[in-house]
């Protein structure tokens, strides 16, 4: 919104709806929804992710201590509040880190009041005593333990982030809409912006936002035409987008194997983008792993070289905060040549990409202390204006990074962290809403739905008349008289049984000794999600030695059978690879009818899930063969030959030699 429009709205005195994701404290007011057409503010509450272990008595800070607390939590970005202990941004003085920060802040305020004398004493306190004695200087008062550690105390996180870190308990916040994210991006102070669209590899591409490029009004991606422009400016700003697929270590054990999957990933991504994906270049796709450090250094260098505003956009639980922690350029301020920057500022010569925007260009020659003071002044002004983007915090070489948690909706509001003396900043935005199965699972077992490490599945054979239950939530039933091989890459337990028993267990109409994590009453919400065909040909990969060059080396066209496959995606959980083998003459008996649909008898499966949602299909990745080859690549070593008889022969030959020598 333009500044004039904001001023007009403030002068009229109209009450605008407050974004719930920016003010989570409002979620405790009632079970209502925010309606922008009404003058009153109505709120919607979300259920608890995990029940808190115990209730504690919180000591509220005094008015003087409240002024010394941080303006917002560095872990979730929520503004500080002392009203609701379960909501983000709540601080209590029970914790040692909060007490130490308040004491440190008080000492800093006292030193500022002392002026030059306080600055001189602080410099003497931080200097080496041996050096001071050599120079003939002594401190006027003894150093205390608090003054020595006053500069080493980090900014504390709120109580909710503390409980998420140590007790895995917390409350999810309201997720913003894509329109809220678009309004936040419109308030960007940078001339050069780059949006990192973060996608989860566990259920790729279900976490993709196909219309993100259009809804955020970004510059169009580079088309296939080589003569097209590579950069576009809109309203004096340039905004580009890259795709980053996180948690790629879930796909294969080695980085080289994941790199070999890049053509497959780009092809699946192009299909998921729809009609727009056929006419653009997808050279801006990265497959990274924050846990293993795969390609994180390259992304970090790109962020540093681009400068400007880097925005992490994506759905909840896709790994934005974890990626933020891995790629943020920490401790890189010494790479900035202050003399060259001051000379460029004096000459008013700013090469493209060297600096970020017009607001920071005038302050490139300032020191880091002067810039932090300017940011603090802008923060005070920000509290009086209407803005969705919070102020930028003072820059530090090693700041407190956003909290990494499996709770969906951990980040409450945008978290801005600058780097490089105003060269740029990285912003972690709250995640968009994402359909998941957490609402149908018991509270104490929601953590089991998150895939944290690579799964080594067991090969299951689904015979005719049987069904596969995935975690008690998704049922896969073959509809053809062909055995189907299933490889579940999911962290939940899978159960193979007859179709009648599977339906009774899935709908919770029969009791069984099977341990399940589904909530009671969820069985009545099980609806068919659709019928899917195994239509991708994987004969060359699955035929074994028949098609290998070092073995028979036959072409798949001469084989009397064909192997078909597909991947069934479970949103937020993982995928199940399905493989079936049929006779080729059955496929050739019925050819394609017309040019619009294929009537060949592909093997089909029926999938039933809660509300008939949370599932999808994609082109098969062949992850089982990839992991199977990695595990069986080591050649079997022939067992060592027994040396028992050889030793007897040596002893016999030695005795004969002794007898011959004595004779």
Model pLDDT, residue 642: 72
Model pLDDT, residue 6: 41
403 & 492 share domain: no
For the chain, give the mean pLDDT. Answer: 77
625 & 546 share domain: yes
Residue-wise pLDDT tens digits, 5-57: 443 443 343 334 455 556 555 555 543 333 333 333 333 333 344 444 444 67
Model pLDDT, residue 367: 52
232 & 286 share domain: yes
Share of the chain above pLDDT 70, in %: 71
- Domain span holding position 197: 172-428
**Mean pLDDT, to the nearest integer, of 112-133?**
61
Closest CA to 535 of 506, 501, 514, 563: 563
**Is the per-residue pLDDT at 299 higher than 60?**
yes
The pLDDT-based confidence of 201 (bands split at 50, 70, 90) is very high
Whether the Cβ atoms of residue 57 and residue 85 lie closer than 8 Å to each other: no
Which residue, chain included where needed, has tokens 């092809």? 267
Kindly tell me the burial class for residue 476, based on how many C-beta atoms sit within 10 Å of its own C-beta (0-12, 13-18, 19 or more). buried
**Is the per-residue pLDDT at 571 higher than 70?**
yes
238 & 192 share domain: yes
Model pLDDT, residue 464: 93
For 397, residues 6+ apart whose C-beta sits below 8 A from its C-beta are: 330, 331, 333
- Of all residues in the chain, what percent are helix, strand and coil, respectively (each to 5)? 35, 20, 50
- Compute the chain's Rg from CA coordinates: 31
For 22, residues 6+ apart whose C-beta sits below 8 A from its C-beta are: 79, 388, 412, 413
Cis-peptide into 205, omega within 30 deg = yes
Specify if 164 maps to a domain. no
Specify if 134 maps to a domain. no
448 & 337 share domain: no
423 & 464 share domain: no
Picking from 428, 456, 486, the residue at the C-terminal end of a domain is: 428
Using DSSP, state whether 199 is helix, strand or coil.
strand
Whole-number Å distance between alpha carbons of 162 and 75: 9
For 335, residues 6+ apart whose C-beta sits below 8 A from its C-beta are: 304, 420
Residue-wise pLDDT tens digits, 572-608: 899 999 999 999 888 776 654 444 566 788 999 999 9
The pLDDT-based confidence of 282 (bands split at 50, 70, 90) is confident
> When comparing pLDDT for 235 and 595, which is higher?
235
Residue-wise pLDDT tens digits, 339-372: 444 444 444 433 333 333 433 444 444 555 555 5
Task: Give the number of other CB atoms < 10 A from CB of residue 164.
Answer: 25
The pLDDT-based confidence of 120 (bands split at 50, 70, 90) is low
Closest CA to 245 of 306, 318, 193, 157: 318
Picking from 399, 428, 457, the residue at the C-terminal end of a domain is: 428
Model pLDDT, residue 117: 56
Model pLDDT, residue 297: 93
User: Is beta strand 466-470 parallel, antiparallel or unpaired with respect to 536-537?
Assistant: unpaired
Model pLDDT, residue 580: 95
**What are the tokens at 630?**
């990695």
**Is the per-residue pLDDT at 216 higher than 70?**
yes
Specify if 578 maps to a domain. yes
Model pLDDT, residue 13: 39
Whether the Cβ atoms of residue 229 and residue 165 lie closer than 8 Å to each other: no
The mean-pLDDT minimum among 394-398, 505-509, 512-516 falls in 512-516
The vertex-261 CA angle with 256 and 266, nearest 5°, equals 135
**Mean pLDDT, to the nearest integer, of 311-339?**
82
343 & 463 share domain: no
**Is the per-residue pLDDT at 562 higher than 70?**
yes
Whole-number Å distance between alpha carbons of 648 and 654: 10
Backbone angles phi, psi at 133, to 5 degrees: -65, -35
Closest CA to 294 of 321, 266, 327, 270: 327
The mean-pLDDT minimum among 217-226, 610-619, 651-660 falls in 217-226
**Is the per-residue pLDDT at 221 higher than 50?**
yes
The pLDDT-based confidence of 142 (bands split at 50, 70, 90) is very low
Spell out where 125-262 has E strands: 170-171, 192-200, 238-246
Whole-number Å distance between alpha carbons of 87 and 77: 12
**Is the per-residue pLDDT at 83 higher than 50?**
yes
First vs last Cα of the chain: how many Å apart?
115
> When comparing pLDDT for 284 and 234, which is higher?
284
Model pLDDT, residue 638: 63
**Mean pLDDT, to the nearest integer, of 379-387?**
52
Whole-number Å distance between alpha carbons of 320 and 411: 10
**What are the tokens at 141?**
């008062």
Model pLDDT, residue 16: 41
Specify if 463 maps to a domain. yes
Model pLDDT, residue 278: 79
The per-residue DSSP string of 265-294 comes to: HHHHHHHHTGGGGGSB----EEE-BTTTTB
Model pLDDT, residue 608: 95
404 & 447 share domain: no
For 276, residues 6+ apart whose C-beta sits below 8 A from its C-beta are: 210, 213
Whether the Cβ atoms of residue 197 and residue 312 lie closer than 8 Å to each other: no
**Mean pLDDT, to the nearest integer, of 500-523?**
85
Whole-number Å distance between alpha carbons of 29 and 32: 8
Task: Give the number of other CB atoms < 10 A from CB of residue 25.
Answer: 20
Spell out where 341-441 has E strands: 415-419, 424-428
Residue-wise pLDDT tens digits, 390-446: 888 888 888 889 998 888 888 888 999 999 888 899 999 999 988 888 888 887 778
Model pLDDT, residue 202: 92
The pLDDT-based confidence of 230 (bands split at 50, 70, 90) is low
Specify if 251 maps to a domain. yes
416 & 450 share domain: no
532 & 391 share domain: no
β-sheet bridge partners, residue 315: 432
Picking from 428, 449, 484, the residue at the C-terminal end of a domain is: 428
Closest CA to 182 of 398, 484, 429, 416: 429
Top mean-pLDDT range of 54-63, 161-170, 226-235, 342-351: 161-170
460 & 417 share domain: no
Q: How many domains does the chain have?
A: 3
349 & 208 share domain: yes
For 178, residues 6+ apart whose C-beta sits below 8 A from its C-beta are: 209, 212, 215, 216, 432
Specify if 120 maps to a domain. no
**Mean pLDDT, to the nearest integer, of 615-637?**
74
Whole-number Å distance between alpha carbons of 597 and 149: 72
Residue-wise pLDDT tens digits, 262-272: 999 999 999 99
Whole-number Å distance between alpha carbons of 37 and 501: 51
Model pLDDT, residue 31: 38
Task: Give the number of other CB atoms < 10 A from CB of residue 503.
Answer: 19
**Mean pLDDT, to the nearest integer, of 291-307?**
93
Specify if 417 maps to a domain. yes
Specify if 653 maps to a domain. no
């Amino acid at each position: 919104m333009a500044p004039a429009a904001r001023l007009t709205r403030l002068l009229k005195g109209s009450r605008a709806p407050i974004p719930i994701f920016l003010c989570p404290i409002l979620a405790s007011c009632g079970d209502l929804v925010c309606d922008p057409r009404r003058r009153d503010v109505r709120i919607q509450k979300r259920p608890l992710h995990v029940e808190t272990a115990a209730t504690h008595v919180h000591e509220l800070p005094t008015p003087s201590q409240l002024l010394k607390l941080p303006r917002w939590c560095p872990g979730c970005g929520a503004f500080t509040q002392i009203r609701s202990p379960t909501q983000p941004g709540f601080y209590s003085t029970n914790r040692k880190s909060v007490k130490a920060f308040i004491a440190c802040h008080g000492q800093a305020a006292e030193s500022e009041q002392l002026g030059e004398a306080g600055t001189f004493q602080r410099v003497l306190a931080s200097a080496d005593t041996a050096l001071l004695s050599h120079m003939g200087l002594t401190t006027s008062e003894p150093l205390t333990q608090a003054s020595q550690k006053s500069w080493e105390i980090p900014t504390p996180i709120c109580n909710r982030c503390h409980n998420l870190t140590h007790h895995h308990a917390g409350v999810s916040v309201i997720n913003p809409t894509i329109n809220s994210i678009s309004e936040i991006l419109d308030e960007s102070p940078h001339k050069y912006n780059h949006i990192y669209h973060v996608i989860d590899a566990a259920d790729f591409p279900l976490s993709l936002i196909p219309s993100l490029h259009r809804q955020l009004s970004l510059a169009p991606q580079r088309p296939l035409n080589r003569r097209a422009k590579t950069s576009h400016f809109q309203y004096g700003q340039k905004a580009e987008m890259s795709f980053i697929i996180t948690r790629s270590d879930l796909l294969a054990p080695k980085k080289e194997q994941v790199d070999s999957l890049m053509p497959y990933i780009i092809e699946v991504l192009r299909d998921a983008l729809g009609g727009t994906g056929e006419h653009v270049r997808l050279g801006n796709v990265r497959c990274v792993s924050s846990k293993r450090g795969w390609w994180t250094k390259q992304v970090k260098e790109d962020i540093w070289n681009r400068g400007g505003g880097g925005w992490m956009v994506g759905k909840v639980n896709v790994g934005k905060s974890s990626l933020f922690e891995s790629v943020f350029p920490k401790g890189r301020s010494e790479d900035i040549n202050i003399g060259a920057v001051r000379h460029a500022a004096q000459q008013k010569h700013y090469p493209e990409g060297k600096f970020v925007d017009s607001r920071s260009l005038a302050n490139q020659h300032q020191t880091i202390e002067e810039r932090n003071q300017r940011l603090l002044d802008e923060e005070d002004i920000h509290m009086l204006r209407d803005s969705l983007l919070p102020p930028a915090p003072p820059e530090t070489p090693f700041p407190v990074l956003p909290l990494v948690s499996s709770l969906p909706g951990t980040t409450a509001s945008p978290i801005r962290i600058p780097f490089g003396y105003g060269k740029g900043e990285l912003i972690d935005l709250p995640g968009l809403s994402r359909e998941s199965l957490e609402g149908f699972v018991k509270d104490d077992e929601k953590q089991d739905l998150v895939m944290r490490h690579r799964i080594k599945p067991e090969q299951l054979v689904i015979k005719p008349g049987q069904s596969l239950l995935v975690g008690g939530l998704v049922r896969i039933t073959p509809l053809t008289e062909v055995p189907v091989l299933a490889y579940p890459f999911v962290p939940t337990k899978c159960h193979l049984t007859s179709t009648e028993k599977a339906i009774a267990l899935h709908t919770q109409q029969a009791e069984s000794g099977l341990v399940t994590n589904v909530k009671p009453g969820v069985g009545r919400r099980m609806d068919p999600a659709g019928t899917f065909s195994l239509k991708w040909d994987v004969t060359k990969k699955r035929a074994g030695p028949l098609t290998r060059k070092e073995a028979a080396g036959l072409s798949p066209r001469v084989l009397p059978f064909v192997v078909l496959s597909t991947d069934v995606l479970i949103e937020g959980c993982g995928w199940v690879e399905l493989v079936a083998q049929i006779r080729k003459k059955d496929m050739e008996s019925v050819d394609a009818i017309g040019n619009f649909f294929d009537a060949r008898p592909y093997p089909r499966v029926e999938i039933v899930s809660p509300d008939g949602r949370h599932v999808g299909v994609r082109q098969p990745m062949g992850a089982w063969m990839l992991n199977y080859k990695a595990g069986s690549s080591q050649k079997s070593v022939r067992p060592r030959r027994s040396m028992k008889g050889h030793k007897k022969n040596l002893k016999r030959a030695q005795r004969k030699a002794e007898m011959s020598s004595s004779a």
